[in-house]
Structure 1
C-alpha cells in the first residue's frame, strides 16, 4: 500500500496495463513450461489415480480392521474378566492357605458345640464352653455380615451361615437339656447355675427363663405326684390317704419351688410366680372337689379340712392364701353326706310303711303262702299307753304335732357344751321309727365332726322337710287304714284288725312328737351351739 501511495497519478493510471502484461507473460511462461514438462504432468496424473485406488483399498482394509477390533475388544474384555477371576481365586487360595489352621478351627465349632452340649449334663463346665462358643459365633456372624448394593437385606458368607445354623441347633438342644434338668431332683445351687446359663441363652435366643423355670419345676413335682397317685392313690390307698399324700406333697414342693424361684429371680419374677401359684391352686381345688366326695368318714373329712386350712394359711407367706376356695368344696361334701343319709332314712321309712300297708291288705291265706318271705317291720309292738292320742289327735293326722312345745323346750335347755341325754329306750317299741331315728342321728353324727355354720339354715330346713315327709307318710298310712277299715266294716270282717292298726299309727305319731323330734332338735342344737331358735324351727 505504501508503494502504491508513493506512485503518481500517471503511474497509477498505467498500472492496470502493466499488470495485464505481466499476467500475459506469466501465462505464456506457464504454457511454455507445460509444453516442455508435459511428461511430468502425465506422471503426476497417473500417480494421483494410483493413490486414489490405493486409498480406496486402504479404506476397505480399515473398515475390516475396525470390525475385527470390535470382536477383539469383546474377547479382551472376557479375557480380562477371566484373568481377574483367576487372580482373585489365586489370592483367595493364597489367603486360605495362609489361614488354614484358623479355618479348620472355625469349621470345628459345630462339632465342638455338639460335644459340649452332649456332656453338659455331666459337667457344668461344658455348658459354659458351649455358651462361649455360641457367643463367639454370634460375633463372627456380626463381623462378616454385609449389605450388597442390589439387596437391602444383609448377606452372610455361606460357610459362616452354615456354622451359625449348626450352633443355633445345638443351643436349642442345650436349652432343652437345661429345662429337663429343672424337672429333675435339682438342688438350689444347681438351679442357680442352670438359670444363669438360661439367662445367657436369653441374650442369644431371646428365651424367657423366668417363665420356663417354675413351669419346669412344676412339671417335675406334678410328674412325681401323678406317678405316686397312679401307683398308690387309686389302686392301694383310700381316698383319704390319697388326699393326705397330695396335700403333703403340694405343701413340700410348692414351698421348695417358690423358695428356689425367689432366690434365683428375686422380685423380678413375682408376676410369673403368682401366675404359676394361681394355676397350681386352681388345680388343687379341682382335685379336692373331685376326690372329697369319695371320703365317707366324717372324721376324715374334718381332718382333711384342718390340714387343708393349715396348708392354705401357710401359703399366705407366699401371698397365696386360698382358704376361701376350700370352703365350697367341704360345704358340698358335708351337705351331700348328711342330706344323703337323711333322704335314705326318709325313703326307708316310707318304703317300710308301704310294705306294712301292703301286708295288712293281704288276707291270712295270702300271708301263709308268703310265710317264707321276710315280714315287714311293725310300726308298734306295744299297746298305746294311757294318755296316748287316739284317732282325733292332730299328730296322728299328719298335722304339726303336739310335741312342738317339748322339742322347743329341749332345744332351749340344750347348751353347746352340755352332754346330750341318751336316746329314749321307748323307741324300741317302734321299730320303723327307731330305724328312722338311727339313720337321722347317723347323719347328725357325720355333721358333728364337721359342721360349717353356713349350712345351718339349709340343713335345718332339710331336716324339717324329712320330718314332715315322715309325718305325711304316717297320715297317709292312717287314711289308708281307715279307708280299708270302712270297706271291711261294711262287709262284716276285719274291723278289729283295722282298729288295732289305727291305734298303732296314733301311738307311733305320739312317739314321733314326744321323743323323736325333741331329741333330734336337741342334737341339732348341740351341733350348732347357740342354735336354739334354729332347733325350735326344725321341731
Structure 2
C-alpha cells in the first residue's frame, strides 16, 4: 500500500514534486515520499539567500556523509567483507536449495504414486492378515474340504462307491456356490469329476466279468446315480459290455474238435445268455412285459400308447435286436462246426441245439426253425457222401468180383444166419451176402441210416429219396457197362442174372423198407396233413420201382412171382404197422434197419 501524501501540500507543490521526481529510479523509492515532501515544504520556507546557499550546504552534507561512510567502511571493512561473503554463501545456498527444490518437485509425483501404492499394499496386507486369521480359525473345516480329492480317490480305488458319490454330491453343492469366486473350489470340482470318471470306468469294467445278479443291480444303480448315460444309452452300454464278456467266453472254447466246440458254445450261451436276459429284465422295465400282462381291450389301448411313444418303443427294441444278433452268432457257429463235421454225433448235437432253441421260447424267441435248414443241409450232405461212397465201393467190389467162388461162400453164410436169426431184430436180407458188391453197398448205406435215423427231419424225405434213386440209376448204368465189357460163360451168366435179380428184388425193396422206417408214412400224413386219398398217390411217389430205376439192366431182371410182388406192395404199409405192434423201443435199441453185430462183422470180412 503506497504511503499517503501530507494533507497540507498545495497543488503547486504537488506539481513541483512530480517534476522533481520524474525519474523512474526516483519513482521507485516510494518509501521516502513523506521525507521528500517534508523537505520540500522546508525549502519553500527558505529565503532566497538561504536557497542559494542550500546547494552548497547539501554538497557539504554529502561530503560529510561520504567521509563518515568512508570512515565507517575503513573502521568496519572486515564486517563488510564477512557480510559480503555471507551474502555470497547465502546466495549459493539459496541456489542449491532452489535446485534441490526443483529436484524435489520432479520427484513428488512418483512419490505420490508410491505413497498411493503403499497405501494400497497396506490395505491388501491388512485384508490378507484378516483372511489369514479367519483361515486359522477355520483350519479344521478347510482341511476337510482340501482332503476331499484324496478321500474320494481312496474311496473309488477301494470300491467304496456309495461314499464317493456322497462326496461328489457335496462337491457339486460347493461348486454351485463358490466356483465363480474361489478357484480352489473349481480345482476340487475338477478332481472330483476325474475320480468319478475313474469310478465309471471301473463299474463298466465289472460288467465285462462274471457277476451275479445282486452285484449287477448295484452296478447299474451306481451308474444311474452318476447321471452320465441316458436310458437308451445305458441299455446299449449294458448289452455291449455283457456281449464282450460273453464273446470272450466263447473265444476261449477250444476249436480242435468241432463237436466239442459247438456243444460247449451251446452250454455257455444257454447258461450265461439267460443270466444276461434275467439281469436285463430286472434292470430295465420293457413294454413287452407290461403288454403281456394286459388283456383284451387294455392291450389295444396300451399298444396305441406305445405306438405314439416311439422313443419308448425303440428302447424296448434294443434288447430284442441284441438277442437276434446273438442267435445269428450262434447259428453261424453251428453252421461252421457242422460244415467242419461232427462225425456220427449229429443226433446228440441236434437234441442239445433244439433244447437250447426251445428254452428261448420263454422270452418269445423260439429259433428252432432257423436251425432246421442247417441240419437238413448237413444230413443231406452226409447222405450224399455216404451214398456216393457206397456206390464207389460197389463199383470197386464188382470190378474185383470172382464169380467162381460165390457158390461155396453162399452156402456157408446161409447156414450161419439161419441159426442166428431172431424175431425182434430186422436184419438185412441174407441173400445179399451171396454177392459182395450188394452187401458192401448195403452195409455202407445202413451205416449212414443208423447215424442219421435219430435226427432225420421229415422235410428231407424227397431229397433223400432222390439221392437214393439217383444212386440206383448210376448202379444200373455201371452194371450195364460191366456186363458189356465182361465175357461170361453159362454158369457165370446165371450167377450174374441172379446178382441182378437180387439187386432188383432184394436190395431195392429192402432199401425201400429202410426208407419207410426213416420216414414213417403215418408221421408224414400227420405232420403235413395229407388226406387219405392223397396218401395213396404219395405212396406211389415214395415207392422205389426197380423197373423204373434199373432201366439199363431191365432185360436181365427176371420176373417175380405174384406172391413176392404182393409182399413187396404190402411192405409199403404193412411192414411198418407190424413193426409198431412189436416192442418199438427194443427194436431201436437193438439197431432197427441195421445188421446185427455178427452179420456186420461177416460183411466187413467179405
Q: TM-score range, shorter-chain basis?
A: 0.5 to 0.7
Tell me which residue corresponds to 2:337: 291
Q: Is 1:265 paired with 2:284?
A: yes
Shift of 1:156: 7.4
Q: Is the contact made by 2:509 and 2:544 (CA closer than 8 Å) also made in structure 1?
A: no
Q: Is the contact made by 1:337 and 1:446 (CA closer than 8 Å) also made in structure 2?
A: no
Tell me which residue corresponds to 2:389: 344
Shift of 1:468: 2.0
Q: Is the contact made by 1:381 and 1:429 (CA closer than 8 Å) also made in structure 2?
A: no
Q: Is the contact made by 2:397 and 2:436 (CA closer than 8 Å) also made in structure 1?
A: no
Counterpart-to-counterpart distance in 1, 2:229 and 2:283: 20
For 1:148-199, what per-residue CA distance to the aligned partner results, in whole angstroms no more than 9, with x for missing partners? Answer: xxxxxxx972x33443343233323323433444455544333322221121
Shift of 1:524: 2.0
Counterpart-to-counterpart distance in 2, 1:466 and 1:511: 16
Q: Secondary structure at the match of 1:423?
A: coil
Tell me which residue corresponds to 1:328: 373
Q: Is 1:511 paired with 2:502?
A: yes
Tell me which residue corresponds to 1:251: 270
Tell me which residue corresponds to 2:429: 424
Shift of 1:66: 7.0
Q: 1:309 aligns with which of 354, 357, 373?
A: 354
Shift of 1:130: 0.8
Tell me which residue corresponds to 1:141: 175
Q: 1:276 aligns with which of 301, 322, 334?
A: 322
Q: Is the contact made by 1:428 and 1:434 (CA closer than 8 Å) also made in structure 2?
A: yes
Counterpart-to-counterpart distance in 2, 1:27 and 1:521: 182
Tell me which residue corresponds to 2:20: 35
| TM-score normalised by length of structure 2 | 0.58
The verdict on how the C-alpha distance between 1:501 and 1:352 changes in structure 2, with shifts beyond 3 A counting, is same
Q: Is the contact made by 1:378 and 1:431 (CA closer than 8 Å) also made in structure 2?
A: no
Tell me which residue corresponds to 1:400: none
Shift of 1:223: 5.2
Counterpart-to-counterpart distance in 2, 1:68 and 1:187: 83
Higher RCO, 1 vs 2 (CA within 8 Å, ≥6 residues apart): 1
Q: Matches of residues 450-469 of structure 1 in structure 2 within 5 Å?
A: 450-469=455-474
Largest Rg, 1 or 2: 2
Q: Matches of residues 22-421 of structure 1 in structure 2 within 5 Å?
A: 32-36=17-21, 38=23, 39-43=25-29, 68-69=107-108, 71-72=110-111, 75=114, 79=118, 82=121, 86-87=125-126, 89-120=128-159, 126-146=160-180, 157=183, 159-183=184-208, 186-203=211-228, 208-218=233-243, 229-230=253-254, 243-267=262-286, 270-293=316-339, 294-297=341-344, 300-353=345-398, 356=399, 376-378=400-402, 382=406
Structure 2: runs of 5 or more not aligned: 1-9, 31-96, 287-311, 408-423, 522-537, 550-606
Counterpart-to-counterpart distance in 2, 1:97 and 1:206: 47
The verdict on how the C-alpha distance between 1:475 and 1:204 changes in structure 2, with shifts beyond 3 A counting, is closer
Counterpart-to-counterpart distance in 2, 1:187 and 1:528: 47
The verdict on how the C-alpha distance between 1:440 and 1:31 changes in structure 2, with shifts beyond 3 A counting, is farther
| TM-score normalised by length of structure 1 | 0.64
Q: Is the contact made by 1:114 and 1:170 (CA closer than 8 Å) also made in structure 2?
A: yes
Tell me which residue corresponds to 2:5: none
Q: Is the contact made by 2:359 and 2:366 (CA closer than 8 Å) also made in structure 1?
A: yes
Counterpart-to-counterpart distance in 1, 2:350 and 2:401: 40
Tell me which residue corresponds to 2:516: 525
Tell me which residue corresponds to 1:9: none
Q: 1:476 aligns with which of 481, 501, 523?
A: 481
Counterpart-to-counterpart distance in 1, 2:485 and 2:201: 79
Q: Is the contact made by 1:380 and 1:430 (CA closer than 8 Å) also made in structure 2?
A: no
Counterpart-to-counterpart distance in 1, 2:362 and 2:16: 141
Shift of 1:434: 1.5
Q: Is 1:536 paired with 2:543?
A: yes
Q: Is the contact made by 2:432 and 2:438 (CA closer than 8 Å) also made in structure 1?
A: yes
Counterpart-to-counterpart distance in 1, 2:124 and 2:372: 84
The verdict on how the C-alpha distance between 1:323 and 1:34 changes in structure 2, with shifts beyond 3 A counting, is farther
Q: Is the contact made by 1:352 and 1:432 (CA closer than 8 Å) also made in structure 2?
A: yes
Q: Is the contact made by 1:110 and 1:163 (CA closer than 8 Å) also made in structure 2?
A: yes
Shift of 1:64: 7.3
Q: Secondary structure at the match of 2:284?
A: helix
Counterpart-to-counterpart distance in 1, 2:331 and 2:193: 42
For 1:116-167, what per-residue CA distance to the aligned partner results, in whole angstroms no more than 9, with x for missing partners? Answer: 12332xxxxx321111111222332333333xxxxxxxx972x334433432
Shift of 1:318: 1.4
Structure 1: runs of 5 or more not aligned: 1-24, 45-57, 121-125, 147-154, 357-375, 384-418, 486-496
Counterpart-to-counterpart distance in 2, 1:204 and 1:258: 21
> How well do the aligned residues superpose, as a CA RMSD in angstroms?
4.1
The verdict on how the C-alpha distance between 1:85 and 1:325 changes in structure 2, with shifts beyond 3 A counting, is farther
Q: Name the stretch that deviates more: 305-314 or 238-247.
A: 238-247
